[in-house]
Amino acid sequence: MKKKVFGFICLIVVLAAAVSLAACNKGEEYTNDNTALLKQFDGATIQGKTVALDVAPDVETVSIGEGAYRVSVSAGCRWALYRDVACQIVMQNNRTDALKEGHNRYYLLVSTEDGAISNRYTLDIWRNFYATVNYFAADELVQTETVLSHTAFPVPAPINRIGYDFRGWNVDGKVVENKIERVDADMPVKQEMENFEFTATETTCVITGVKDKSVETIIVPDYVTRISGLAFTACNRVVRMKIPFVGETKDGENHAYLGYIFGAENGLMNSQWVPDSLMELEITGGSKIVAEAFYGCDGLMSVTLPANVESIDRYAFYGCSQLERINLPSGLTQIGYRAFSGCARLRSIAIPATVTGLGVEAFYGCAGLKSVDVGGGINTLGNSAFAGCKGMTSLTLREGIKGIADYAFAGCESLTAVTVPDSVTAIGNFAFEGCTALNNVKLGAGVATLGNGVFKDCATLQGVTIPANVTTIGSDTFSGCTGLLSIQIPNTVTSLNLSHMFQNCENLSEVSLPTGIEEIGELAFYNCKSLTEINIPSGVLTIGLHAFAHSGLTSISLPNGVLRLGSQAFFACTDLNGAILPASLTEVGNAVFTLCVELQTISCKSDAQPEGWDEDWLSGCDATVVWGYSGN
């Protein structure tokens, strides 16, 4: 503890009356004659009838009239010292007395030698002492000082307590009166913190409760460093909240889910603890939204994220069924698995160019999502990233995107147009499956691979121009595209799986297949009722099961080199009236031409039926077979 001594002397003023010694002894009033006067008191101050003497803390006794404290009176007078105001208890033993700390009062009587005239003086001896002074700020002890009595309190430096306004110390003009003193800082709570119960230091501010739990708006200042669990319990009418972070602290390491401050034990319990009344939320700080941060907060309608958020983890907003508006900050880099899945009322989303990773099913089932803008920083959209977004009418894919993943936009029933940028090299399996309103597709020049079922069941799609860069097309690509009219597959395609490729394309009337393919897979042109003719490339080796069943073919000529013809390959081709089979054909399945009711003649270039043909290959067909056919 520090020792500070300040130089001013506080003089204690008392009333004094002058009476004669004789009158004092007789109980009579003192005279007011100034003949007998105190002339000098060494070491003391004389003011009128008051004598003040200060002594050091280590002075335990004092002898008046001896040593340093000599007394001089007017000529021909004498003096005496008393303990009481009535001058009854005279000090003996050379006028020596023990001193208590602080104030000691005596009475000094001056009289003439005959005792006829006297003046009485009040003698105040102040024995100084050291006092402990404790300084408090917001009921917290912040400093302790040791102070010499009769000196001013030392004023410490201003106190900084987060959430308080420091206006000063209430010590102006005060002196130490007792052994222990308490001095409080004038520190009213800041207005924005008045409704919170909190503790604070120079570096921390912890909210522990809310005083008025009926409020509709809660705004937590940015300088708050922590919010305790249960702090907002029973705030069941809150509509709007502004908080500096989600959960307990800004670092997001522990309890970083919204329900924590309301009492939830984990993010999966948000829906049980976060009030249904909470509709608007603004977050002003933090760099990430952790897993399950807002899981199941189905009352939230609007969320504003801080500019410095870099990642939104898995299930962060999963099941926020009323969420309509949210901003994705420009510095965002990652959106996790099912981060926004089930946000059925979300209207639009713009994914910044800084996002490189978009998780699987990130926006799965956002049925109300109408507008989507995907930035060019993404390497590959996650599987089913926007699957089931039935209300999507506008999709913008920015240049820079490298790939579109499996089922990425499957089931987007309202989507009418898609332009795939040149930067995309691969479109995954069933990427646009079930986009029943899709009628305008532009594939970028960089696309090399179309996965299985990319446009499966896109019922209104009439045509797609396949870029020359495409080398691989998977099965089912146009299956169920009932509105498809024509398609040209360029010769650059070297890997083509025609299985189910055009199944149920009822209006397909024109198709061009690339050279170099070896198989027309099963159900490839099944139920293509408008397809009356087709040119099968010379390199084809196999025609699969049901490949042209229920199609509108009127004639068919398989090129030389075809080795295998699958069962029911031309089943129920009711308009087929001519068929030419090559001599290379070594395997033929059963019921190849069953229910081909218009077929009269089958011309086979083999001289006789090969051993590898199924004995029932002609089952259900009344056509005449001509062996050894040499025509075209």
String of DSSP letters for 24-41: HHHTPPPP---SS-EEEE
Enclosing H/E stretch for 473: strand 472-473
**If you compute the radius of gyration of the chain from its CA atoms, what whole number of angstroms results?**
51
Query: Could you tell me which of 580, 585, 583, 624 has the C-alpha nearest to residue 606?
Result: 583
Query: Could you tell me which of 128, 133, 130 has the C-alpha nearest to residue 103?
Result: 128
pLDDT for residue 215: 97
Q: pLDDT-based confidence at 342, cuts 50/70/90?
A: very high
Q: What is the tens place of the pLDDT at every residue in 413-472?
A: 999 999 999 999 999 999 999 999 999 999 999 999 999 999 999 999 999 999 999 999
- Mapping DSSP onto H, E and C, the string for 130-151 reads EEEEEEEECCEEEEEEEEECCC
- Specify the DSSP class assigned to residue 427: E
Q: pLDDT-based confidence at 24, cuts 50/70/90?
A: very low
CA atoms of 31 and 53, how far apart (whole Å): 26
Between the alpha carbon of residue 424 and those of residues 111, 218, 498, the distances in Å are 119, 46, 23
- Helix (H/G/I), strand (E/B), else coil: 602: strand
pLDDT for residue 251: 83
CA atoms of 387 and 431, how far apart (whole Å): 9
Across the range 224-231, mean pLDDT stands at 96
> CA torsion angle for 541, 546, 548, 552 (degrees, to 10)?
160
Q: What is the tens place of the pLDDT at every residue in 95-122?
A: 778 899 889 999 999 999 887 888 999 9
Query: Could you tell me which of 597, 513, 585 has the C-alpha nearest to residue 550?
Result: 597
Between the alpha carbon of residue 287 and those of residues 177, 329, 332, 513, 543, the distances in Å are 55, 10, 9, 53, 58
Q: How many CB atoms lie within 10 A of CB 125?
A: 22
- Kindly tell me if the per-residue pLDDT of 12 is higher than 70: no
Q: pLDDT-based confidence at 172, cuts 50/70/90?
A: confident
pLDDT for residue 179: 79
Lowest mean pLDDT across 54-63, 290-299, 433-442, 609-618: 54-63
pLDDT for residue 94: 56
Dihedral sign for Cα 287, 292, 297, 298, please.
positive
CA atoms of 52 and 106, how far apart (whole Å): 10
Q: Which long-range contacts (CB under 8 A, 24 or more apart) does 207-214 make?
A: 207/231, 210/235, 213/237
Q: What is the tens place of the pLDDT at every residue in 274-318?
A: 999 999 999 999 999 999 999 999 999 999 999 999 999 999 999
What is 3-127's CATH topology? Immunoglobulin-like (2.60.40)
Q: pLDDT-based confidence at 33, cuts 50/70/90?
A: low
User: Between residues 96 and 563, which one has the greater pLDDT?
Assistant: 563
pLDDT for residue 67: 81
Q: What is the tens place of the pLDDT at every residue in 123-151?
A: 999 999 998 899 998 888 989 999 888 78
Between the alpha carbon of residue 130 and those of residues 3, 136, 153, 176, 536, the distances in Å are 8, 20, 12, 9, 113
- Specify the DSSP class assigned to residue 613: B
pLDDT for residue 171: 82
CA atoms of 596 and 577, how far apart (whole Å): 8
Domain(s) of CATH 2.60.40: residues in the chain: 3-127, 130-186
CA atoms of 293 and 311, how far apart (whole Å): 12
Q: Are 405 and 427 within 8 A, CB to CB?
A: no
In sequence order, the β-bridge partners of residue 198 are 207
In degrees, rounded to 5, the angle at the alpha carbon of residue 439 between the alpha carbons of residues 455 and 470 is: 45
Across the range 481-486, mean pLDDT stands at 97
User: Between residues 624 and 251, which one has the greater pLDDT?
Assistant: 624
Q: How many CB atoms lie within 10 A of CB 489?
A: 19
Which residues, including other chains, have CB under 8 Å from residue 289's CB and lie 6 or more apart? 246, 305, 309, 311, 312, 313, 316
State the average pLDDT for the chain: 91
pLDDT for residue 2: 32
- Kindly tell me if the per-residue pLDDT of 571 is higher than 80: yes
In degrees, rounded to 5, the angle at the alpha carbon of residue 568 between the alpha carbons of residues 562 and 569 is: 35
Question: Percent of the chain at pLDDT above 70?
Answer: 94
User: Between residues 450 and 19, which one has the greater pLDDT?
Assistant: 450
Pairing mode of beta strands 140-148, 130-137: antiparallel
- Kindly tell me if the per-residue pLDDT of 594 is higher than 50: yes
pLDDT for residue 92: 65
Across the range 261-271, mean pLDDT stands at 96
CA atoms of 276 and 298, how far apart (whole Å): 7
Across the range 399-415, mean pLDDT stands at 97
Q: What is the CATH number of domain 130-186?
A: 2.60.40
Across the range 319-328, mean pLDDT stands at 96
- Kindly tell me if the per-residue pLDDT of 16 is higher than 60: no
Find tokens 């409080």 and name the residue. 184
> Rounded to two decimals, what is the model's pTM?
0.78
Cα end-to-end span (Å), the chain: 117
